[in-house]
A and B are shown apart, each in its own frame.
Chain A
Amino acid sequence: MCFSEDGCDISVDGNNRFVEKNETRMYFDDDSLMYGAIFSDPVVYECQLDRLMARTEKLSQIYLSKISLISSTGCESDLDSDLVYLREFANGFDDSRDLISAISKIENIGNRNEDAHCKLW
Chain B
Amino acid sequence: MKMHIVNFGKRGQLKIQQMAFMLIAVVLFFALVAVFLLAIKFSSLKETAEIFGEEDAMLLVAKIANSPEFECGRAFGATRTNCVDADKLMVLLDEAGDYRDFWGIDSLGVRKVADGAKNECNSDNYPECNSIELIEGRGVGVGNFVSLCHKESSEIGTYDKCELAKIIVSYDLK
Binding site for B on A (CB under 8 A): 55, 58-59, 62, 65-66, 69-70, 72-75, 114, 118-121
Contact = CB atoms under 8 A, between A and B. Distances in A.
Instruction: Using C-beta atoms within 8 Å of the partner chain, give the interface range for chain B.
Output: 20 to 34
Contact of B151 (A55, A62, A70): A70
B91 A121 contact: no
Contact of B153 (A66, A73, A120): A73
Contacts of A66: 85, 87-88, 91
Contacts of A114: 74
A62 B92 CA distance: 7
Contacts of B157: 74
B100 to A, nearest CB: 14
A14 to B, nearest CB: 29
The 6 A-B pairs at the shortest CB distance, nearest first, are namely A121-B73, A73-B153, A65-B91, A74-B158, A73-B151, A75-B158
Contacts of B88: 62, 66
Interface string B146-174: 00000111000110000000000000000
B50 interface: no
